[in-house]
A and B are shown apart, each in its own frame.
Chain A
Amino acid sequence: MAPESGIRMEKVCFDFGGRKILEDFNLFLERGVNRTILGVSGAGKTTILKLLLGLLTPDSGTISIDGTPLAGLRENELVRVRKHIAIVFQGGALFDSMTVGENVGYRLFEEGKLTEPEIERIAREKLSFVGLEQAIDLYPAELSGGMKKRVAIARALASDPDYIFFDEPTTGLDPIGVYNIRHLMNRLQQEGKTTLMVTHDMETAFAVSQRFSFLHEARLAFEGTREEMLTCSVPAITEFFAPTEQSLFRYNHLPEH
């Protein structure tokens, strides 16, 4: 039997700082379908991405990538699984001691299979995809926030991953920056990449995703299409889209001491 294709989380529980972040959380990211995870700030959306990458270990439950369970894998085994995944972190997370070109070609350098000219060619190609080929010799400190995110996308693409995760890709960007990112995400999807995004930017979410998951109080409150989400009667979702006076200062996710 062929291994299952896609990313699956089943009954995942995760506590941090005495607070329940996820409880019996389920998620399935099927190949070719682009999904957005929604939820209020501090709900644990970024934690989901880190759990899927094996950067954090769940307290219980199972996570599998294309049929390979992450539980019990050592760091070098995780590296093999992560080859199929890339992530664009919220702040870009570019390595500030390296140039833009070195950042983009980083994974290829690490793999050590290609020569330097070949890596540079790929880095240029990916940078031109995000419209930043001329920035190849600059350092991240010399770039604006939007440019950093575009470089981060170029870096994510360098190793030709199957899945790309986006952590709040449009936060802190001006409308043109947001438009750029949205355009790039649509192009990636046309190229057959599967994306998983966490965001509060509903306009971007609706523009790039076909399916949505809503995280509320550590549990999956909703899973479905845009239309299903907008017409559903889950109170947390209704409130998320149309906050009222009662919503004021309601969601304060503080750690327990």
Chain B
Amino acid sequence: MPLKLAENTLKLFFFEIQALFALTWRALRNIFRRPFYYREFATQMDKIGVESLFIISLTGLFTGMVMALQALIQLKPFAATSYVGGMVAVTMVKELGPVLSALMVSGRVGSAISAELGTMVVTEQVDAMRVEGTDIVKRLVTTRLKALVIAMPLLAMVTDGISLIGGYIMSFSYGINPVMYWKSIPQFMVFQDLIEGVFKPAFFGGIIAMISCYVGLNTSGGAAGVGNSAKRAVVLASVLILVSDFFLTKIFIVFR
């Protein structure tokens, strides 16, 4: 009996993975196919990008301040506090900026997407769209995928920029020379770090879009089902962001 249960769970797991990849493939194939649903895309860019700016800015500001504070304490015994700017920049641009902004967006936008699509499924709006001749993957999934892949790097850049300002405020209040703070940044960073800082959030945006859409479109069971979908989407996307960050970092190190 437990063996049968394990077999069924494993089958279900592989079925879900297969269905997720199939949906991703269909969404990617539609990126350059008409109609482009510009209005839906603009709405998603607004919801995902513009409306996330405040939360992203707060995340960047306080993370930058904490980073600078910790660095100041660690570097002080070595009389190397003038390198705080560089340390904050490298950590934020390569790792914390992309990951933290993606986690925040996953919580804010991923849950909203899966709840919205889930509600559309249980109220038969998705069926109605199909009957009216809409390719639901093109309209509902591809538009969100495009919006997230474009908006995420921009949001990560905002996080990075504001975290540097946060670090600067902290360093300035600890008497670090402002010129030294900004000058140390290019000493620590190389061009590939910037590429890493743009590619990673774009990839995470793709993860958030596909997980939220997949979970949302497979919602069943009314209001409770919609709630479950929102929770499931956030948990899955967050875990996948952290796991994929490790592998992406490994790949970038290989090509360094």
Residues of A participating in the B interface, judged by any CB pair closer than 8 Å: 50, 53, 55, 75-76, 79, 82-83, 85-87, 89-91, 93-97, 106-107, 110-112, 155
Contact = CB atoms under 8 A, between A and B. Distances in A.
A165 to B, nearest CB: 9
Contacts of A96: 125
B133 A107 contact: yes
Contacts of B129: 95
Kindly name the residue among A75, A90, A112, A155 whose own CB sees the greatest number of chain B CB atoms within 10 A. Answer: A75
B35, B128, B129, B130 — which one has the most chain A CB atoms within 10 A of its CB?
B128
B134 interface: yes
A107 B132 CA distance: 5
Interface in B103-136: 123-125, 127-135
Q: How large is the interface on B (under 10, 10 to 19, 20 to 34, 35 or more residues)?
A: 10 to 19
Contacts of A75: 130, 135
Nearest to B127: A55
A53 to B, nearest CB: 6
Contacts of B128: 87, 89, 93-95
A160 B135 CA distance: 21
Contacts of B133: 79, 82-83, 107, 110-111
B143 to A, nearest CB: 12
B124 A90 contact: yes
Nearest to A54: B130
A93 B135 contact: no
Contacts of B130: 53, 55, 75, 82
A86 B135 contact: no
A143 B250 CA distance: 55
B134 A110 contact: yes
A217 to B, nearest CB: 24
Given A50-B127, A75-B135, A79-B133, 6 more contacts: A53-B127, A75-B130, A91-B123, A93-B124, A93-B128, A110-B133
A87 B123 contact: no
B166 to A, nearest CB: 37
Contacts of B124: 89-91, 93
Contacts of A155: 132
17 contacts: A53-B127, A75-B135, A82-B131, A87-B128, A89-B124, A90-B124, A93-B128, A94-B128, A95-B128, A95-B129, A96-B125, A97-B43, A107-B132, A107-B133, A110-B35, A110-B133, A111-B133
A106 B40 CA distance: 13
Nearest to A106: B132
The 5 closest A-B pairs by CB, nearest first: A93-B128, A93-B124, A107-B132, A79-B133, A89-B124
Contacts of B134: 110
Nearest to B137: A75
Nearest to B136: A75
Nearest to A83: B133
A76 B125 contact: no
A21 to B, nearest CB: 16
A91 B126 CA distance: 13
A87 B125 contact: no
Contacts of A93: 123-125, 127-128
Nearest to B124: A93
Of A86, A95, A112, A155, most B-chain CB atoms within 10 Å: A95
Contacts of B125: 93-96
B132 A76 contact: no
B135 A87 contact: no
B35 A86 contact: no
A52 B54 CA distance: 48
A79 B43 CA distance: 26
